[in-house]
């Protein structure tokens, strides 16, 4: 491979096994208790949730304002049902003869008409199935495809006061199963009835008011599409209404709008269950006896999965959710259009679920006007549209959140509250204004424009869009379980829809697409540590219709930790004879017992230790063993290591000494198991006599200047140089070139003294200030350690924005004759260039040049580019490239796929004075230019 390509790509391709993956289990099978013909669990395993006095609960709801969600259940918090790391609290376990394991939990709540459940944490590993049911209904099987990014899981409703929760899975998957039951909603409204009787979302004898109009009636004929946008929204024991809204891209993102008083927190969004197509199949005469009867929910289509709260504006009583799963195809949903103007209008229409009964349609009377009065609990928020009254139909409790549409079939607001009822036909209603929520509180989290107009088109109105037929998508892994540090191929198969397709893989379950080539149906990923979570892919066809697939992936890894129980930490004085405490100048050794608690062996690992400098007044010490090489440790294997340190003779009496084990780095990645392995004090004054006969035993190692990287996870690295300063330890400067969470290039600075072969420093990131104001001092974003092993190897560990990571760094090119040049401009401090010249690997009697430029985009964010030349002489033009690099602690991907040309860079000299000329243009993701013409340069440090 040409060296230029080698340096641009730096790809380490792990061998990928082609292991066939089974698909999620058949969801139509019998619940395990029936399938295996098992007797019921013993009475001691029953979870007896607090029951409910239905009459008392219903009486408490009398007089509740229409602006309140319609409450149907009381919440019972649960704290004694968990399963994690093979440890169970609550429930019954059985190992079955066919290699499966079964966990069962019977639940009962006296007086309950319905039960539904919330899990603080539910992770179903591959092959696991969750069933919840009773004699009236069975839910599931839910599989790993139903694992949610939030980690929570919420169920639809079961009629009855009892349920049996069952989890069936292969016995080998038990260590990865996570269960934490948090909530039982104990229903007191008759929401579901057995199939033999009437059932509704309200009481069996009372439906919504008889003055309401069924959407199936001719009055709804011109609103058929908009009727399909509306749904019942269930959250946290209450009911509201909501509808899908189209965004300006027409890309069918499942944005659902409702009232802020219905859902205002991410916790509420996590618990969302949607019921589509809950409608009367016949048109009942308005004001008839039949129109006041509940409608059976037999045909309602439920959607689980919760939602992400993308924007909430209490001033407009408006909330926008993004459903975590696409609406079911059978619902044939529609995405409503919208109008964000404040022009008054006539002919308003609202589709809603009064009393959370079957879907109804109502028509306003007169002109709909702006209202900015404070109506208190009658209508939360301050900015509304006011409907004077209705010519046909009304709204009721449960209608909250339904969308008010104008004659152009565009949503203008969502129902906050009001006085309108069948018993008060002259009553008004108030709808939180979409126009106000558009700008909201001024941030993406509390305004609509970022979501409904993501390209900032400035449109005042946008029409709705109907359903599309998404591609059918499956997702396969080359290995599952897989091993950290090994390449895993993720492959998507798509059919249907309108090819060609684009692919968006989320390899770490954070909801952000990670792949760098949207046309690629597969990618290779390498995980730096243990992982138990869902990987997903969204496949969009040529028409913009998207299908998704999600599956659990298990990645095993080493996890070396300090073994505390039974062994402890053994410290002893190596040199010195202080009768009490630790004297300045003494040397101490602490024996540390390390164990590999992981599920994979280590490979060429180093255990890393550092003084904890976060505590003020730490004693000055020399840590003689900052990084200790470990033998290969199989899972469960242990090793003793000796951590030695010397207290400086000038250390302050009474000063604290605190040393931490940070974790272990090896070829496969890094695991952080932070532990304090030494916590002591220098002897108190009066007992504190310095010892001068125990010098620290350290052979100083100075790393070779140049570009270093992790050869197992190329795509980021550090350019480092060490300068000698008289009277103090050498000063280490490292520019860490890496990526942010979106895999865009960014860089950080590690700059401190190299003391006893370790730099223990604050990690900084600089940012460009207003025009021509170049940064001198960065912002602290974490801490980092550089533990030098040899001149051409160091262990780099960090905590960046609270996330720990580490890698073993070696030179990008092994050339003993390489040399590093570093440049900056004194008038524009904060950016510069590094050039590494490799004489032995160049051609045509010229060195190979590898160049890094660290600079800023138009928003002032730090970025970097690279260039190279195999036959370099000053004056040559270097073509700069911008890549989508790997990011700290992220899953490794082939970053070179996203590389783009940024423009030319060249140096020239007048005598000994170097000058730089650049004409760089960044890609649109981080826009801006970096144009410099004959700018003089100064060495960052002396050669």
- Catalytic residue numbers, as ranges: 261, 317, 400
Helix (H) or strand (E) holding 226: helix 224-227
How would you label 82-91 residue by residue, b for 16+ Cβ within 10 Å and e otherwise? bbeeeeeebb
For the CA atoms of 219, 220, 221, 222, what is the dihedral angle to 10 degrees?
Answer: 100
End-to-end Cα spacing for the chain:
32
Write the burial class of residue 778 (CB in 10 Å: 0-12 exposed, 13-18 middle, 19+ buried): middle
How many CB atoms are located within 10 Å of the residue 928 CB? Answer: 17
Q: Give me 393's structure tokens.
A: 């139909």
603 Ramachandran zone, left/alpha/beta (phi>0; psi -120 to 50): beta
Cβ atoms of 135 and 161 within 8 Å: the answer is: no
Q: Can you list the positions of beta strands (E) in 236-359? A: 238-245, 255-259, 273-276, 301-303, 307-313, 318-323, 334-335, 337-339, 345-346, 349-352
Instruction: Report residue 723: phi and psi, to 5°.
Output: -110, 140
Q: Give me 584's structure tokens.
A: 């300045």
Q: Which residue has the tokens 């070179």?
A: 896
C-alpha span between 132 and 155 (Å, rounded): 9
* β-strands 621-623, 638-647 pairing: antiparallel
C-alpha span between 262 and 235 (Å, rounded): 8
Cβ atoms of 682 and 585 within 8 Å: the answer is: no
Which segments of 530-651 does DSSP mark as H helices, in order?
none
Instruction: Report residue 896: phi and psi, to 5°.
Output: -65, -20
Q: Is the peptide bond before 141 cis (omega within 30 degrees of 0)?
A: yes
Whole-number Cα distances in Å, 640 to 424, 426, 484: 80, 83, 24
C-alpha span between 747 and 16 (Å, rounded): 31
Q: Can you list the positions of beta strands (E) in 606-688? A: 606-611, 621-623, 627-629, 638-647, 656-666, 669-681
What does the angle CA 511 – CA 512 – CA 517 come to, to the nearest 5 degrees? 135
C-alpha span between 777 and 336 (Å, rounded): 50
The DSSP secondary-structure symbol of 23 reads: P
Helix (H) or strand (E) holding 368: strand 367-371
Spatial neighbors of 377 by CB under 8 A, at least 6 apart, are: 65, 67, 68, 417
Cβ atoms of 317 and 377 within 8 Å: the answer is: no
How many CB atoms are located within 10 Å of the residue 908 CB? Answer: 13
Cβ atoms of 313 and 436 within 8 Å: the answer is: yes
Q: Give me 739's structure tokens.
A: 């990526």
C-alpha span between 242 and 303 (Å, rounded): 13
As a whole number of Å, the CA-based R_g of the chain is: 33
C-alpha span between 470 and 40 (Å, rounded): 42
What does the angle CA 738 – CA 742 – CA 748 come to, to the nearest 5 degrees? 30
C-alpha span between 927 and 924 (Å, rounded): 5
DSSP string, 629-640: E-----TT-EEE
Q: Which residue has the tokens 């939360």?
A: 380
Instruction: Name the nearest CA neighbour of 758 among 700, 685, 806, 804.
Output: 700
């Amino acid at each position: 491979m040409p060296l230029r390509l080698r340096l641009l790509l730096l790809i380490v391709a792990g061998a990928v096994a082609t292991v066939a993956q089974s698909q999620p289990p058949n969801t139509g099978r019998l619940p395990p208790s029936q399938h295996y013909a098992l007797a019921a669990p013993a009475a001691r395993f029953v979870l007896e949730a607090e029951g409910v006095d239905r009459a008392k609960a219903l009486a408490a709801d009398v007089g509740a304002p229409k602006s309140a969600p319609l409450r149907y259940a009381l919440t019972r918090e649960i704290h004694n049902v968990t399963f994690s790391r093979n440890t169970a609290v609550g429930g019954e376990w059985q190992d079955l003869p066919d290699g499966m394991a079964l966990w069962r939990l019977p639940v009962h709540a006296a007086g309950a008409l319905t039960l539904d459940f919330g899990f603080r944490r539910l992770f179903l590993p591959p092959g696991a199935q969750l069933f919840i049911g009773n004699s009236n209904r069975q839910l599931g099987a839910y599989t790993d495809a139903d694992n949610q990014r939030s980690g929570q899981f919420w169920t639809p409703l079961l009629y009855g006061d009892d349920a049996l929760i069952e989890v069936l899975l292969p016995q080998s998957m038990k260590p990865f199963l996570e269960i934490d039951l948090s909530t039982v909603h104990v229903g007191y409204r008759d929401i579901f009835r057995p199939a033999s009787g009437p059932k509704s979302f309200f009481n069996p004898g009372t439906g919504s008011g008889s003055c309401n109009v069924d959407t199936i009636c001719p009055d709804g004929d011109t609103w058929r599409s908009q009727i399909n946008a509306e749904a019942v929204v269930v959250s946290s024991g209450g009911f509201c209404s909501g509808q899908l809204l189209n965004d300006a891209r027409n890309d069918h993102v499942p944005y659902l709008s409702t009232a802020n008083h219905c859902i205002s927190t991410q916790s509420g969004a996590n618990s969302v269950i949607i019921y589509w197509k809950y409608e009367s199949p016949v048109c009942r005469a308005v004001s008839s006896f039949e129109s006041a009867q509940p409608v059976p929910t037999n045909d309602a289509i439920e959607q689980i999965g919760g939602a992400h709260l993308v924007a909430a504006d209490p001033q407009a009583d408006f909330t926008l959710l993004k459903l975590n799963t696409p609406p079911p195809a059978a619902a044939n949903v529609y995405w409503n259009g919208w109008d964000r103007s404040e022009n008054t209008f006539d002919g308003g229409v609202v589709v809603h679920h009064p009393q959370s009964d079957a879907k109804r349609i109502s028509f306003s009377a007169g002109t709909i006007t702006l209202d900015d009065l404070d109506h208190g609990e009658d209508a939360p928020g301050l900015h509304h549209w006011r409907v004077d009254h209705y010519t046909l139909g009304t709204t009721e409790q449960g209608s909250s959140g339904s969308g008010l549409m104008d004659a152009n079939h565009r949503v203008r607001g969502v129902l906050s509250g009001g006085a309108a009822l069948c018993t008060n036909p002259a009553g008004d209603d108030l709808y939180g204004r979409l126009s106000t929520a558009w700008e909201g509180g001024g941030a993406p989290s509390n305004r609509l424009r970022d979501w409904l107009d993501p390209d900032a088109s400035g449109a005042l109105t946008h029409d709705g869009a109907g359903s599309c037929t998404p591609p059918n998508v499956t997702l396969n892994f080359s290995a599952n379980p897989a091993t950290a540090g090994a390449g895993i191929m993720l492959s998507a198969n798509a059919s249907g829809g309108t090819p060609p397709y684009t692919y968006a893989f989320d390899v770490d379950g954070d909801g952000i697409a990670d792949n760098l080539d949207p046309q690629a149906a597969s990618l290779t990923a390498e995980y730096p540590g243990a992982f138990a979570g869902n990987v997903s892919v969204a496949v969009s066809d040529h028409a913009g219709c998207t299908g998704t697939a999600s599956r659990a992936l298990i990645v095993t890894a080493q996890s070396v930790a300090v073994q505390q129980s039974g062994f402890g930490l053994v410290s002893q004085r190596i040199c010195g004879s202080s009768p009490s405490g630790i004297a300045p100048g003494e040397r101490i050794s602490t024996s540390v017992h390390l164990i590999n608690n992981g599920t994979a062996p280590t490979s060429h690992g180093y255990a890393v230790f550092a003084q904890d400098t976060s505590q003020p007044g730490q004693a000055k010490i020399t840590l003689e063993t900052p990084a200790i090489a470990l033998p290969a440790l199989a899972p469960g294997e242990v090793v003793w290591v000796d951590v030695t340190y010397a207290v400086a003779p000038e250390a302050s009496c009474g000063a604290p000494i605190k040393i931490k084990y940070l974790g272990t780095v090896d070829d496969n990645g890094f695991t952080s198991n932070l532990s304090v392995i030494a916590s002591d004090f220098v002897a108190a004054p009066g007992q504190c006599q310095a010892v001068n006969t125990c010098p620290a035993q350290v052979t100083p190692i100075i790393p070779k200047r140049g570009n270093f990287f992790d050869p197992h996870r190329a795509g980021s690295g550090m350019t480092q140089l060490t300068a000698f300063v008289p009277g103090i330890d050498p000063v280490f400067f490292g520019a860490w070139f890496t990526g942010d969470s979106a895999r865009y290039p960014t860089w950080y600075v590690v700059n401190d003294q190299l003391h006893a072969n370790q730099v223990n420093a604050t990690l900084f990131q600089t940012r460009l200030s207003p025009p021509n104001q170049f940064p001198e001092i960065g912002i602290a974003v974490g801490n980092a350690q550089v533990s030098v092993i040899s001149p051409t190897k160091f262990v780099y560990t960090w905590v960046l924005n609270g996330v720990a990571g580490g890698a073993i760094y070696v030179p990008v090119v092994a050339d003993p004759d390489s040399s590093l040049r570093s440049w900056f401009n004194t008038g524009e401090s904060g950016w510069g260039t590094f050039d590494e010249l490799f004489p032995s690997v160049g051609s045509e009697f010229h060195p190979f040049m590898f160049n890094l430029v660290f600079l800023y985009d138009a928003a002032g964010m730090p970025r970097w580019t690279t260039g190279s030349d195999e036959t370099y002489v000053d004056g040559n033009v270097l073509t700069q490239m911008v890549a989508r690099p790997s990011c700290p602690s992220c899953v490794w991907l082939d970053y070179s796929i996203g590389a783009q040309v940024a423009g030319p860079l060249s140096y020239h000299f007048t005598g000994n004075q170097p000058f730089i000329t650049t004409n760089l243009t960044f890609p649109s993701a981080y826009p801006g230019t970096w144009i410099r013409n004959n700018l003089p340069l100064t060495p960052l440090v002396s050669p």
